[in-house]
Chain A
Amino acid sequence: MYTQGLDQKGQANVSEIESPEQLAAFQARIDAEEKIEAKDWMPAAYRRTLIRQISQHAHSEIIGMQPEGNWLTRAPSLQRKAILLAKVQDEAGHGLYLYSAAETLGVSRDEMVQGLLDGKAKYSSIFNYPTLNWADIGAIGWLVDGAAIMNQIPLCRCSYGPYARAMIRVCKEESFHQRQGFDIMHKLCNGTDDQKAMAQDALNRWWWPSLMMFGPGDADSKHSAQSMAWKIKRFSNDELRQKFVDVTVPQAEFLGLRVPDDALVLDEESGHYRFGEIDWQEFHDVLAGNGPCNAQRMERRRSAHDDNAWVRDAARAYADKQSAKAVA
């Protein structure tokens, strides 16, 4: 998911000339629900917005492997290990689908990865929280992937074809992720008192960061209007957050867990849950690099890149040697 609209400053100067006619014709295609494809004409700002959003999304999938990877060797049974391994592999796959979608816009994967390694590109705030016990893996699948699905389903109808197609593939797989998370929570909640307490503890820590995944409130989300007009976004941050709360609270009740929000109440008239104020200071702190695990996540990502450089070099050398042989 992870399209929080994080680094929106610095709209570069528009160098090429975009005539009002071109812009109007483009908007007309969007309004007619036509998909924009890679080689089609598009405004520079549309291209920039997509590159930023899709690459952030890809980075989030890749960094998102870390909190769960932490439990691969410690999952409580061989089957749980196998399932978690499959999920973490899916996250890598999602990152690759998304990098490949972004590449159609004329940016190379190496450039995007370098942006992440240099700390210039952002990724979702949620992955800067630690996974302290096994229940956290349940909470991530249930809440974090649940929030991701809420955000990603509308992206399957995004106006940019390659992004929309990648999202269809991602959404099919996320559904497994969410259910495996709920399954972990369900087992814990039907276990011993200690196990149920673990599940409650994980919900307590992951609930609010999950709500923050939808990004700033609509009043503070400056670029949303343009993204909506371009049909990159279909629903506002607050609308999606509300949907997530509405479907998730009854699931928590089913599990017999308490959502950690004293202000949470069902508004009978509208059918929506009203919930308490999000701590936006925490959100901005985590985005600014001051979350519990920001430094650790980046350090791990950089060392993985550097430590495995020899593999890339060796593969390249082998390919060069084979093609030299073929020519000879």
Chain B
Amino acid sequence: MSKDRAEWPLYEVFIRSKSGLSHRHAGSVHAADDQMALDNARDTYTRRMEGVSLWVVRSDRIIASDPTETSAFFEPAEDKIYRHPTFYDVPEGVENL
């Protein structure tokens, strides 16, 4: 009985909507194998020419940052405002800088 069998694995789907743009997360699909994941992703997420390229990756293979550690994880960038051009005063009269 298929009821007793493990569920097909979950894949995350990424779509490049046109060349020149990066792939973007669209959602997920279940599939028995990689090829079926691509086929299912095409049928589920690109019925209206939403993409020119698809990536699928097993959801359990994605390494994600921990949301409970978000502030500690990203905090080192917070006090380095000198990384932004707006940190610097441009003297009156100076152009093209």
Residues of A participating in the B interface, judged by any CB pair closer than 8 Å:
37, 39-41, 86, 89-90, 93, 96-97, 100-101, 103, 108-110, 114, 165-166, 169, 173, 309, 312-313, 315-316, 318-319, 322-323
A316 and B47 in contact, given A39-B67, A40-B67, A103-B10 (Cβ under 8 angstroms): no
A100 lies within 8 A of B32 (CB): no
CA A313 – CA B28 in complex, angstroms? 21
The answer to whether the Cβ of B68 comes within 8 Å of any Cβ in the partner chain is yes
Q: Which of A41, A97, A108, A316 contacts B27 (CB under 8 A)?
A: A97
In the complex, identify which listed stretch (B1-9, B75-83, B87-95) lies at the interface while the others stay far away.
Answer: B1-9
A319 lies within 8 A of B47 (CB): no
Distance to closest chain B CB from A130 (angstroms): 28
Distance to closest chain B CB from A59 (angstroms): 16
Distance to closest chain A CB from B51 (angstroms): 13
Interface centre among B10, B44, B67 (most CB of A within 10 A): B44
The answer to whether the Cβ of B54 comes within 8 Å of any Cβ in the partner chain is no
Can you identify 6 A-B contacts, CB atoms within 8 angstroms? Answer: A93-B44, A97-B44, A103-B10, A309-B3, A312-B2, A322-B33
A315 lies within 8 A of B47 (CB): no
> B residues 32-54 with Cβ under 8 Å of A?
32-33, 36, 43-45, 47-48
B44 lies within 8 A of A316 (CB): no
A110 and B7 in contact, given A309-B1, A313-B2, A319-B32 (Cβ under 8 angstroms): yes
A318 lies within 8 A of B27 (CB): no
The answer to whether the Cβ of B56 comes within 8 Å of any Cβ in the partner chain is no
Residues of A within 8 A of B2 (CB): 309, 312-313, 316
CA A173 – CA B33 in complex, angstroms? 28
Residues of B within 8 A of A114 (CB): 3
A100 lies within 8 A of B7 (CB): no
Residues of A within 8 A of B48 (CB): 173
Residues of B within 8 A of A90 (CB): 47
B5 lies within 8 A of A319 (CB): no
Distance to closest chain B CB from A193 (angstroms): 38
Additional A-B contacts beyond A316-B5, A316-B8, A319-B36 (7; CB < 8 A): A40-B67, A41-B68, A93-B45, A103-B10, A309-B2, A312-B5, A323-B33
